[in-house]
Structures are given as C-alpha cells and as structure tokens.
Copies of this chain bind each other. A is one copy, B any other.
Amino acid sequence: MKIVVDAMGGDYAPENVIAGSIDALKEFQVAIALAGPQDHLAAELKKYSYPPHMVEVIHAPEVVAMHDPAVSAIRQKRNSSITVGLEFLKKGGYDAFISAGNTGAVVAASTIVLGMIPGVDRPGIGCVIPSLKGFNLMIDMGANMAAKPEHLLQYAKMAKVYVQEVIGRANPKVGLLNIGEEECKGTDFVKEAHKLLEEKEPAFIGNLEANEIYMGKADCIVCDGYAGNVALKVSEGLMEAVAILMKREISKNPVAIFAALLLKTTLSDARKAADYSEYGGAPLLGVNGLVIIGHGRSSPKAIKNAIRVAKREVEHNVLAKIKGVL
C-alpha cells in the first residue's frame, strides 16, 4: 500500500506533514509518496531516519497557498503538490491521497483530476464527529455550495458505506439536519430532501435538530455544505471560547488550575469533538479515488491519524463498495 501525501498542505507544511508521515510509516507499515518541491522535501527528510524504500518523493514545484481562490489556483498552478499528487493517484500504483492544504483547491482538483463516481453529482466532505454513542459521519461540511435534494440522497448512500466499513458500525441510520423534528419544518430545499430520503433511503430516520448532532441519534447526518460548515465551525469556536474562559478563570483564581488539570481529559475530549484533525481528517466522498482532507492546522499526530484512516479505507475497499451502492 502506498499513500500519496501533499507535503505542502497546511499551515505548518512541510514540517508537520513530513513528521506525521514518518511516524505513520513506522507505526502502520505503509509506504508514503510525498508530493512537493523535490529540494525542499529532501532537505526536510534529512532530519529523519527511515527505511528509504518506504518513502518516495513526487516532484511538484508549485504550491497552492491556503487562501488562494480554489479554482483559479488549480488552473494556474498545474504543477502544484495537490494536482500532481492526485495525478499520481489516478495513474495507479497509489492507493489514496491526503492533503491538509487549501480545502477548496483539493475539492476542485480532485473533481477535475479523478472525476466523479458514476451516480454521484457532487463531492461532499464527510466529517467524523464523536458523539455520546461513538463516532458518526456528517456530510457535507462545505464542498457543495449548491446542494440539491438528490445530492443529499447520494451522500446518505456513501455515508452508510463509510460508517460500516471505516467506523465499523452495522446498519447505520441516516438523519437529515433540520430545524425541527416535524417533516413540515425547514427550507423548501430541506423539505424536498426529506421527501426524497423518505422515498428512497430505507435507513432514513427523519429530521435531526442541530442540538442532537452530538447525542448520537443518527450514524450518518446529511446536510448542505453551508449548514454543515456552520455546524462544524460553531462547535470549534465554542470550545475555543470555553478554553479561553477557562484560562481567564485560572488567572483570577489560581486554585482553578487544579480543577482544570483534573478535568483536562474531559474537556480535551470535548474539544476533539469539534476538531476533525484529531480523528484523522475528513473523507472527500463522491470523487473517483480515496481522498482525505486534513485540517489546515494539522499537527504531526493529525497527519499520522489521517494516514491511519486512509489505510483503513484502502483495506476495507471503501471506494469499490461505494461504487457498488450507487
């Protein structure tokens, strides 16, 4: 198995990406192909010792910056680590592609280079979120800004396979993110999606209010990319605000530091709930290849976790199984 990793993706690239990749190849025995400017990567790789046959460098001289406009970046930088990395995945001999770089660019390039799975109209970013009953998959987290009801049905089918194979839960249930439990609630788009899911998705259990996301009522939660992105980022921001409030409290009352230490595990569990890098990146579902998107602020551990997830996706033959249900 060989995983292509965008060595230039993320706020701390290539340092964190290479550190996490080296850890992963030792821990999981997967070969890594790092895409990026050859000289830059070679210099960084000198810091590590590793079995040389386990690391390949794919030369890609250009770098898409985190805030480059996605589509134009892909058009103008045809030799970026993102595009070149995906081209290697496509040509064969490589099993998955991971990037913690510019999300929009990864989505656009994956769609262009790999194409879509027949039966899927738009890719969706799935986010593995912890709930009180274990991990669930929420999709889409921001790839699709013009979602149609049929896209949500396609997301539901793909999410079920993902939850079964990668998260490892049998008979996953599908919920639709909405503002109320009743089917009459929501925008016209959500009401139509509800109707379609009810007709065509046997695992559909109905609407899910946003306060139920972390309760684990549904294993797969489908929504449009705008709402999904809002849900994910609000959670991230709220836990950040809680952490800041905590620090303020400690500076006012030093005794509180003991409290904070005692509860560290709980709170960090909760923060992880809001940070998909901790789980190991978000699968981009619907494109014709295994692509995982990491958080821009990925630590070496997050990169390592993303590679672990990629390995599991490959071993469980997720791509073929998704194609089988569409």
Measuring CB to CB, which residues of chain A are less than 8 angstroms from any residue of chain B?
67, 69, 131-132, 142, 145-146, 177, 179, 182, 184, 186-188, 190, 209-215, 224-227, 229-242, 244-246, 248-249, 253, 255-256, 258-263, 265-267, 269-270, 273-274
CB within 8 Å for A273 and B213 given contacts A146-B187, A229-B179, A262-B256: no
Q: Tell me which residues across on chain B come within 8 A of A236, comparing CB atoms.
A: 210-211
Contact partner of A266 (CB less than 8 A), chosen from B186, B226, B249, B266, is B249
Q: Are B238 and A214 neighbours in the complex by a CB distance under 8 Å?
A: yes
9 shortest interchain CB distances as A-B pairs = A211-B237, A259-B262, A210-B233, A214-B241, A259-B259, A211-B233, A179-B229, A249-B266, A210-B230
Chain B neighbourhood of A211, CB < 8 A: 233-234, 236-237, 240
CB–CB B145/A238 < 8 A: no
Query: How far does the Cβ of A279 sit from chain B's closest Cβ, in whole Å?
Result: 16
Contacts A182-B67, A274-B238: A263 and B266 contacting too (C-beta < 8 A)? Answer: no
CA distance A308 to B75 in the complex (A): 57
Tell me if A226 and B187 are in contact (CB < 8 A): yes
What are 10 of the A-B contact pairs (CB < 8 Å)?
A177-B230, A210-B234, A213-B238, A214-B238, A230-B231, A241-B270, A249-B265, A249-B266, A258-B262, A263-B263
Contact A249–B263 (Cβ < 8 Å): yes
- In Å, the complex CA distance between A270 and B247 comes to 13
- Identical subunits present: 2
Complex Cα gap A239–B238 (Å):
9
Distance A324 CA – B301 CA, assembled complex (angstroms):
56
**Residue in chain B with minimal CB distance to A67:** B182
Bound-state Cα–Cα, A272 to B269, Å: 21
Known contacts A145-B186, A230-B210, A263 near B270 by CB under 8 Å: no
CB neighbours (8 Å) of A214 from chain B are 237-238, 240-241
Q: Name the B residues within 8 Å of A229 (CB-CB).
A: 179, 210
> Quick check: A234 and B231 within 8 Å, CB to CB?
yes
CB distance from A224 to the nearest CB of B (A): 8
For the complex formed, measure the closest distance between the CB of A285 and the CB atoms of chain B, giving whole angstroms: 18
Most chain B Cβ neighbours within 10 Å, of A211, A256, A269: A211
Asked if A242 contacts B267 (CB within 8 A), the reply is yes
Min distance, Cβ A311 to any Cβ of chain B, angstroms: 29
Q: Contact partner of A187 among B145, B186, B244, B259, CB < 8 A?
A: B145
Q: How many Å from the CB of A41 to the closest CB on chain B?
A: 29
Decide: A188 and B258 in contact? CB cutoff 8 A.
no
Q: Report yes or no: A230 in contact with B233, Cβ–Cβ below 8 A.
A: no
Output the least CB separation between A166 and chain B (Å).
22
B235 near A209 with CB under 8 A, answer: no
Residues of B within 8 Å of A259, CB to CB, are 258-263
Residues of B within 8 A of A232 (CB): 210
- B residues in contact with A145, CB < 8 Å: 179, 186-188
Interface contact B233-A235, CB-CB below 8 Å: no
A263 near B265: Cβ-Cβ < 8 Å: no
Residue of B nearest to A256 (CB): B262
- B-chain residues with CB within 8 Å of residue A262 when the two chains form the complex: 253, 255-256, 258-259
